[in-house]
Structure 1
Amino acid sequence: MRYNGSPIEIVNAVFPGKYDITEFQRVPNQYWHSQENRVQALRTFCEKRKISKESLPLLNRAYFRKHFPRFISMVDRHYDSKFYRWIMESFPEHTFQPEEFNLLVGIDGQLCDSKEELAIHNFLVQAIISAKVERESQRFMNNRYEEVYIPDWVIYQNHRKFVIEYFGLYGSIRYKAYTEKADRKMEFFQSLKDYKFIAIMPDDFREKGFRRIVSLLISKGMWINVHRSDCY
């Protein structure tokens, strides 16, 4: 009864400090729900492999697919597939430059993952009236699927809150899992009572002059400067 029937606790008691939790085939239930556990896992992984600060940005999906695939599902669930967020959270003592992770900087200094997101972000910042536009600032937990979602934008305007997500790969044959997760995201965000949800699809983005995006925003009650020259 001393070890609560846990093989991990037994091994660690017999061989203290020899094995890291991630070296076992399975971790305890909800182990990754703890930020401390996620941070310690990456720090230990890098320490054992002598990964330098300069090499940390190279720890992406392709790297872990080759060297430690078990981390991928954890990052998908708890960091919305954004490996750089896990790295930045785990190594707060380091200062990273956006270009190290191939990130782009918006006109207000916030970071974007792609050129399409950058274009949308800059448009939102310039077009939305009297609002606070935040990039990837909040984490939402979908308890049904045990997934964390970090929406592209959360916007505050006139005591109202909006969640905006750009699904750039939606419907792609190559990325079926992306579309499946996007469907779960949309279902979840639409269920939030305190937020209005706006989904931007690839065809919406490709519409010249952001016309379709403007229509989406207005349809949800957002105040927009529709007289901007690049809107119509």
Structure 2
Amino acid sequence: MGDGPLNRISCDIDTALQCVSVYFYWTVAHPIRDIIFRYRFRNFPPPLYLLYKYTAQTAENRIPAMTSSHSDRCISRQRTWGVPIPVFYHVESKEPLLNENTIDHILSIICQKGSDAWWYMIEDELLPDVYRDKASEYEKGTDTMDAWFDSGSSWATVLSGLSFPADLYLEGTDQHRGWFQSSLLTSITTKGKAPYFCVIMHGFGLDERG
């Protein structure tokens, strides 16, 4: 997770242990105050997410059943570690600032210094030239990417320059709600098709030594 997020923690270990997860709280208690980053999926026609196969027939309908039950998926988290969401907020109006100009500028910084740069660089450095004279009017966000959304978009990097979709995704059965699903959602949203041709689920088998 790098040193940047760790430097933001001002409490000692004893105090840190008292922190409580707000995963379910913030998405329900403050739907207006908190900006939730979402991506749409439910309205995609079935053929788009059925163009792959499972090796186990009993699991064939698991992901379609899960994805059809909700239309939005929250991809932001309020944590002190993780990959930052590169969004700025207007100090007074709290309106978000996230566009092609800001993304391109931040991307150029991260390519040179890594994602930790978001935590230790100031707004005046993180904002592109077109917003530089208004840097004092904005503050950078502190939300991080949901780990599943982060890992679910790995195909964009791993398969870059290679054959797409991948021939095979292999993981445990718990990944129906994790990597298998988030990879499918991000790929269909941006590419219009699944990132894999086949999914093999293993049953967490152990060798004779556990």
Q: TM-score normalized by structure 1?
A: 0.25
Give the number of the structure whose alpha-carbon radius of gyration is greater.
1
Higher relative contact order, structure no. (Cα contacts within 8 Å, ≥ 6 residues apart): 2
